[in-house]
Amino acid sequence: MTTVRVGVVPTQRAALYSVLGILVTVTICGAFVAAFGANRVFTGLLAGAVAGVAALSALFTRDAVVLTDHTIYRRTPWTVSSIAWDRVVAGRFTLDERSRWSLALDLSGGDEPHGELVLLSIPPVVRPVTGAYDLRKRDQVTEIRAVLRRKRIPVTVLPQIAGALQQHWQIAPPTH
């Protein structure tokens, strides 16, 4: 069974997660100061920062889209919903409103905004893989394409995106 973890955290949820991380940090720091006195403010800040980073990490890790062979799962820290593959009409790799490359699925029916599910949003590829981020994004693009190919879902790719992927990341354009 193939499982691919992707997804884009919307800005509003990312802001909420950041506020929650700050609240955790401040609460733990305040608890340290209340329990041990003002001389432990730096210890409280350190413990709060560790807990805040752990909370942020847990929230962002839980927020994802998971593609499996049978279903697409959309997870948030509080809910899990599923989307049947038969609702997927097509895929597209285009520019989004922020001039980033967006790989999205077009869906029929349901309550998704504009009937789409964004799987990936990356900065334009302008050079070969140079680090862990580029490598992970290239692997995600390859994994998503493999799943969509197995599911026989047509994918539209803008020519400049297809050219850059082929030139810099050695990802061949989709064939029909």
Average pLDDT, the chain: 91
pTM as predicted: 0.80
Shared-domain flag, residues 164 and 102? yes
How large is the average pLDDT for residues 7-22?
Answer: 93
Domain of residue 137, residue span? 79-169
Angstrom CA distances, 145 to 3, 54, 56, 109, 160, stand at 13, 32, 29, 23, 17
Q: What distance in Å separates the CA atoms of residue 26 and residue 24, rounded to the nearest whole number?
A: 6
- Predicted local confidence at residue 114, as pLDDT: 61
- Predicted local confidence at residue 149, as pLDDT: 92
What total number of domains does the chain contain? 2
**pLDDT confidence band for 116 (50 / 70 / 90):** confident
Shared-domain flag, residues 58 and 88? no
Structural domain contains residue 33: yes
pLDDT tens by residue, 41-84: 999 999 999 999 999 999 999 999 999 999 999 999 999 999 99
Shared-domain flag, residues 141 and 86? yes
Shared-domain flag, residues 157 and 100? yes
Structural domain contains residue 67: no
- Predicted local confidence at residue 109, as pLDDT: 78
Shared-domain flag, residues 101 and 54? no
